[in-house]
Structure 1
């Protein structure tokens, strides 16, 4: 495969302030994303996914105060066309990464993330 056609995925995490919670709902992105019932919320496209969860951990603000966490996956040179299989693949990547981070941080209750991914759509993309 030549370099121009190679796909590269990157994973990033952001620990957000309680008031921040940016781009958490598809309305915030003006219906740009498909929205899924995963964690606190999950958004996906064919070339990216975002997963929001809360983490109460001694390594963060303590076991009694949950901190919002955003995990995201971006696929460079990914498809801009809507493809449910690619959306689900991106959700699988971001779910696995978020689970690993929740475990590493010691999030109470695993940050509310299911051990096994179940893809359940909440809202379709409107744009």
Structure 2
């Protein structure tokens, strides 16, 4: 996770300490799971990582997921999302963000074109709308999603890192 993403996690959770995740929750394992599922029509999504607050603090769970989609994004996002200028599509809200990128890689050789991957970062179990600075939260979720997306693109050896910039772009499209 990038330094910017670590700072963003503090904005989201209010903490810089977290419980250790299971060994299954690494970028390398998420990429391996994606490659394994790439040609399996029954598997379209999976968990990449979970972030938990330390034991004895308020319950909070952040989930990072991957999803395989059939092509470039279409349609209009829900009003709660701000569209950002990153990759194929980046959507940020005060409790989640999604980045879709296209990956051409020897690990995902597909004669029909690049693989389209969506990385999602979502807060689970949020009983009410956020009371904090909504714009800061949107930026924070987008920053975490960018960090994981870029790491995933590098792990999958996507050409040009799947079109993801080196740093998150938080400007609305």
- Report the TM-score, using the length of structure 1 for normalisation: 0.78
Matched residue count: 116
5+ unaligned residues in a row in structure 2: which ranges?
1-53
**Aligned 8 A contact 1:56 1:64 in 2:** no
- Report the TM-score, using the length of structure 2 for normalisation: 0.59
Determine which structure has greater relative contact order: mean sequence separation of CA pairs < 8 Å that are 6+ residues apart, divided by chain length. 1
SS in 2 for 1:38: coil
Tell me how large the CA RMSD over aligned residues is. 2.4
**Aligned 8 A contact 1:43 1:50 in 2:** yes
5+ unaligned residues in a row in structure 1: which ranges?
123-127
CA apart distance, 1:64: 8.5
Structure 2 CA distance for partners of 1:63 and 1:97, relative to 1, 3 Å: farther
More strand per residue: 1 or 2? Answer: 1
CA apart distance, 1:118: 2.1
More helix per residue: 1 or 2? Answer: 2
The aligned runs of 1:74-89 (5 Å cut-off) are: 74-78=122-126, 80-81=129-130, 83-89=134-140
Q: Work out the CA distance in 2 between the residues paired with 1:118 and 1:105.
A: 22
Structure 2 CA distance for partners of 1:96 and 1:63, relative to 1, 3 Å: farther
Match of 1:101 among 137, 152, 155: 152
Match of 2:103 among 55, 66, 74: 55
Q: Rg bigger for which structure?
A: 2
